[in-house]
Structure 1
Amino acid sequence: MSVIKDRQEWDDVLDFWFPEADSLDVDAQIHRVHWLWRMQGGADDQIEAQFSDLTERAAQGALDHWTLAPHGRLALIILLDQFSRSVWRDSARAYAQDPYALSLVNEGFSNGHYSALPTPWFQIVYALPLGHCEGPDHLQRIDLLIDLREAIAATAPIALQPIYSSLVNQAHDVRKIIATFGRHPHRNKILNRKSTAAEETYIAKGQFPHTRAFR
């Protein structure tokens, strides 16, 4: 007899953000499409329509009890790190939750929640704040991100390994930007920061690592 899992309050977030669910038997092309959808802003309208209120609650700390479970912690990280960028796109608030999300990531490394996640796509999304959150330890965190992605790529199903290897490459590209500028220059205008001449040249090219994934 099959066991029916009790539905949790964070399952709507996970079901939406991971159409693959938690089965490793995923078609590589479909999986690639899912990644492009997640990483290229294709879900913005749906996120705003379905999850604006929940994202607001997450930002206010009203969902901290989700962190008691690995999947709940992952869902809260998604709200803070991903859905915030859709709900508050082109405003400073899109990035305001980054330190909060990073703290959840670090705590989950310590308490075993990260290692309890069953799929490579769960683990990749979980660790995104390592590269997103600006700060004095940014390079060290990206080095950790690279290590994690290399481990994920090495253990992912063979058909999916090219996708995860490309995400390793992307993390290296992000590291180059942070090593050069110490921050994400493409955010400067939104955050009302003055760009250096070098940053203006970089921004004018529009070749940002987060927009070049899988291309």
Structure 2
Amino acid sequence: ALDAEIARRFGELREAVVASGAAGWRDDADSLLAAIVLIDQFGRNLHRGSGEAFAADPLALQLAREGVAKGYDGQLPPARAKFLYMPFMHAEDAGAQAECVRLFEALGDADSLDFARQHRAVIEEFGRFPSRNAALGRESTPAEQAYLSRPDAGW
């Protein structure tokens, strides 16, 4: 129901923001954050179970890096700043994961920091998120299969 509501209300807008590279959405903290939520969060709702859910992650990460570089995260309340940081957490990249942990340490949100550390540990172990393998058509290694069989695996 939530995915359908997001699709109805924001699907076309999200696709337009992605297609434009978020042109016109980068000039202030609120606009940039809105673009990140549309791209990073709503993309996962709109394309659940499909590799398309992750297709715009590079753009979301670019926007998040830009927002941090411009100090936009410091202009947002912590509850909103953490959404600016989510593309770092979603990145299959060790450097982005390290930055994510650093950002959440500075934010002081213990729950989000724990979640960031969990994501970093998966990337450190596998170099990718095995929970995405099926959606992305990737074959899981035996170690990834063992990980995925755990009840607490993936997100």
Give CA-to-partner distance per residue, 1:13-50, whole Å, 9 cap, x none.
Answer: xxxxxxxxxxxxxxxxxxxxxxxxxxxxx842321221
**Cα-Cα RMSD:** 1.6
Which residue in 2 is equivalent to 1:123?
Answer: 81
TM-score, scaled relative to structure 1: 0.68
Which residue in 1 is equivalent to 2:65?
Answer: 106
Which residue in 2 is equivalent to 1:177?
Answer: 122
> Any conservation in 1 of the 2:123–2:129 contact (CA below 8 Å)?
yes
Which residue in 1 is equivalent to 2:106?
Answer: 151
Higher helix share: 2
The structure number with the bigger radius of gyration is: 1
Distance 1:206 1:57 in 2: 37
> Any conservation in 2 of the 1:173–1:209 contact (CA below 8 Å)?
no
Structure 1 unaligned spans of 5+: 1-41, 154-163, 211-215
Which residue in 1 is equivalent to 2:13?
Answer: 54
TM-score, scaled relative to structure 2: 0.92
> Any conservation in 2 of the 1:59–1:80 contact (CA below 8 Å)?
yes
Give CA-to-partner distance per residue, 1:43-64, whole Å, 9 cap, x none.
Answer: 4232122111111112211642
Distance 1:208 1:82 in 2: 20
Q: How many residues in Structure 1 have an aligned counterpart in Structure 2? A: 155
Counterpart amino acid of residue 188 in structure 1: N
1:191–1:65 CA distance, 2 compared to 1 (3 A): same
Which residue in 2 is equivalent to 1:189?
Answer: 134
> Any conservation in 2 of the 1:170–1:209 contact (CA below 8 Å)?
no
Identity of aligned residues (%): 32
Counterpart amino acid of residue 115 in structure 1: G
Structure 2 unaligned spans of 5+: none
- Cα distance, 1:209 vs. partner? 5.3
